[in-house]
Amino acid sequence: MRKVTLNFASLKVDFCDRDRAIRQVEDFAEGRTWHPIVVFGPEGCGKTAWLKQATEILRELGFETLYVNPLHRDVIPYTDVKEVAQRLLEAVGEAIGVAQLKLATLATLVVRELLSKWRKRRVAVLVDDVFQAIGLDKAEVYVKELLGLIEYPPESYEKIVVIVATSEGVTRWRIGRHRWANLMPMWNMPKRGFEELYERIPGPKPPFEEVWRLTGGNPGALSRLYQANWNLDAITKSFVEEKKLTPAFVSKWRGWLEKAVEDPDVLWSPDAPEELINELIDRNLIVYFLRARDVEVWIDEPPPEADLELGIGKYVAWQTPLHREAVKSAIARW
């Protein structure tokens, strides 16, 4: 299996670890996906890297394979149908706003054409960050459209694989109301693989255990720390601004926030305010209602049952320790 080369901060690195997640892609290809697989997880946990590696695996297994990221206007068309590849690549060049919607639409349209017009028998489509591009209000309809590719194809096929990835916590609840998709969570990288990524970063850096405690294995958090020259204070200040941790927000929820930074499972208690929980989910600060740690329902390795040092409870977790540190900083600041 060829490992794809990925952009990581200002570096080029080969895909590393996620051994179990790779085997799962092979399992999807061996059988097929009966519903679209919607993968959700913390921001920066490595969903895009996994999808791009999955694109390569499916190509090697003989699938006409399309990777489409409408939000970032990124496509990988592994198909011998030049017309299809050209249409996707041309859409990337459209104006911002137009390109995102066009790529999201083409992701499903060209699959139908590969099945009907070109009579392809093994097709895979992997769509990344699509809900942010088209709007959360359209998430359910989009997933149902993807399901239609599987259940009501224009022509018979041998196998089809459909995978969608999102960081939007609220999307999970919207889609989960229906039986249109198989929702599977992904967590941050296991410690061994994360250390491999850490070792590829050049120059002086903090000890690995310190970096692990700050990131919890999240590649995106590692990238931000590296680009900020390992300045934790600068990172937490930027998170406070990005997540809109304003004086009004902190003042309103101070008591609950102070308890949640110590143990996120306090937000699981019956008297925890639903409004605060929804705010934290909407701002992508927490992952709420963590699945049981049964490996069969997770992409790759699940998080530990609980690890308060990393901000992980049994049912609720901070997306990364840096997200928790930002909330701590806001509490102290305001």
pLDDT in tens, 72-83: 999 999 999 999
DSSP for 275-288, written as a single string: HHHHHHHHTT-EEE
Q: What average pLDDT does this structure show over 31-50? A: 93
Does the structure show a pLDDT above 80 at 246?
A: yes
The answer on pLDDT for 269 being more than 90 is yes
Average pLDDT, the chain: 94
Mean pLDDT in residue range 276-286: 95
Full-model pTM: 0.94
Confidence (pLDDT) at 9: 87
What average pLDDT score do residues 201-212 get? 97
Residue-level pLDDT at 10? 85
Q: Which fold has domain 5-185?
A: Rossmann fold (3.40.50)
Average of per-residue pLDDT across 1-10? 89
Which is nearest to 23 in space by CA: 59, 53, 68, 63? 53
Q: SS3 letters for 7-55?
A: EECCEEEECCCCHHHHHHHHHHHHCCCCCCEEEECCCCCCHHHHHHHHH
Question: In residues, how long is the chain?
Answer: 334
* pLDDT per position as a tens digit, 109-146: 999 999 999 999 999 999 999 998 898 889 999 999 99
- What pLDDT sits at residue 177? 78
Residue 14 has pLDDT above 90, yes or no: yes
Domain boundaries, the chain: 5-185, 205-294+301-333
| Closest alpha carbon to 181 in 28, 35, 39 | 35
Structure confidence at residue 86 (pLDDT): 96
pLDDT for the residue 135 = 87
How confident is residue 170, by pLDDT bands cut at 50, 70 and 90? low
Please say if the pLDDT value at position 224 is more than 80.
Answer: yes
